[in-house]
Structure 1
Amino acid sequence: MSTRNGVSVDDGVREMLLLMPRLVGRAKRIRVPAALASFTLAPRHLTLLSLLLLDGEMPVSELAKRLEVAPATVSLMVGDLNRQGILDRREDTADRRRIIVSIAARHRAAIDDWLAVGATAWRHALRPLSPAERRTFLDTLRRYEEGVEGSLSKE
């Protein structure tokens, strides 16, 4: 049932229940480039790689903040990807306690090609929205995530 400003909550739920599995299924079908196929890459690595691709090199502490996980978790992921040769890490010359992380130059193009599919699709989806509409959309997805997580934690 439509409402004055769009769709009812129940109609929105129905539409999202149909749409979400298709979105996830399509995202899973994005092929890993041949240049990266031999590496052990998990979904958790994709967000980290996306941040480095979009925002450039950054300290482990900043990656942890943006990924909303503990610095120790990011350090483990960075160590794993560094051992595989996907990431480079170096000491910050201004503060030798800080480690700066970047995508290894030899893998940057393959990672860019791989992750560009999703980034391009999100730009296509978000560009027509106003900044306030984008905020609402992102807040809505976050509330959905929190709702699912809250339900799972009760099991």
Structure 2
Amino acid sequence: MSTPKEGTGDDGEAVDDAVRALLLLMPRLVGRAKRIPPPEALRSFALAPRHLSLLSYLLFDGAMTVNELAGRLEVAPTTVSLMVGELSRQGILERREDEADRRRRIVTVVPEQRPAIAGWLAPGAAAWRTALTPLSPEERRMFVNTLLAYEAAVTVDGR
């Protein structure tokens, strides 16, 4: 990084220097994430990054409704319903009646696919654990909030 500029705060690092570093880093991160191939058992399903987010929620947080998934993914329930239908037809997800309310459908990963999906998520999860473990809870929260703020700032017309 270059020499700090005036008015850069107590840490001496210029915002522009940090922006430059991140502009160079982000394409490499995205490129590496895209190169993580799905496991052999899932390759024939043509899964996309949007599927990875949905599957992550179901794997880490357990079964949930389409509306719950839509809220977490911040997309319309119809979008999630289409993805769930597609993945259900492929034998990756299943929908079942909610025992507490038979009008609702619960979505879950089929047991046979759980190991392959967990294997697909494992490299990314391990890398994040390595990066985040040395940080304090407050620093982790700030890091996640910073990424969320970046996402919001680059979002154009809700896309």
Structure 1-normalised TM-score?
0.91
2:152 counterpart letter in structure 1 = E
Q: Shift of residue 40 of structure 1?
A: 2.3
* Displacement after TM superposition at 1:7 (Å): 2.1
Identity among equivalent positions (%) equals 66
The residue that corresponds to 2:57 in the other structure is 51
The reply on whether 1:112 has 2:118 as its aligned counterpart is yes
Amino acid across the alignment from 1:62: E
Name the Cα RMSD after superposition: 1.4
Which of the numbers 124, 140, 144 marks the counterpart of 1:138?
144
Listed as ranges, the matches of 1:4-153 within 5 Å are 4-5=10-11, 7-150=13-156, 153=157
Partners of 1:87 and 1:6 in 2: how far apart? 50
Aligned AA (2:79): T
Structure 2 Cα separation of the partners of residues 6 and 137 of structure 1 = 19
Rounded Cα–Cα distance in structure 2 between residues aligned with 1:117 and 1:46: 13
Distance 1:138 1:116 in 2: 19
Where in structure 2 are there 5+ consecutive unaligned residues? none
Taking the aligned partners of 2:36 and 2:46, their CA distance within structure 1 comes to 16
Cα distance in 2 between the residues matched to 1:127 and 1:61: 32
Q: Residue by residue, what CA displacement relative to the aligned partner does 1:83-109 show, whole Å, maximum 9, x if unpaired?
A: 010001101011011111111111111
Question: C-alpha offsets along residues 17-58 of structure 1, whole Å, 9 cap, x if unaligned?
Answer: 111011011111111111111102111110000111111111
Structure 1 counterpart of 2:88, which letter?
N
Q: Secondary structure of 2:106's partner?
A: strand
Q: How many correspondences in the alignment?
A: 151
- Secondary structure class of the residue paired with 1:88: strand
Q: TM-score, normalised by structure 2?
A: 0.89
Give CA deviations for 1:63-93 in whole Å, capped at 9, x if unaligned. Answer: 1111111212111111110001000110101
The secondary structure found in structure 2 opposite 1:30 is coil
Q: Which ranges of structure 1 fall in alignment gaps of 5 or more residues?
A: none
3-state DSSP of counterpart to 2:146: helix
Cα distance in structure 2, aligned partners of 1:6 and 1:105: 52
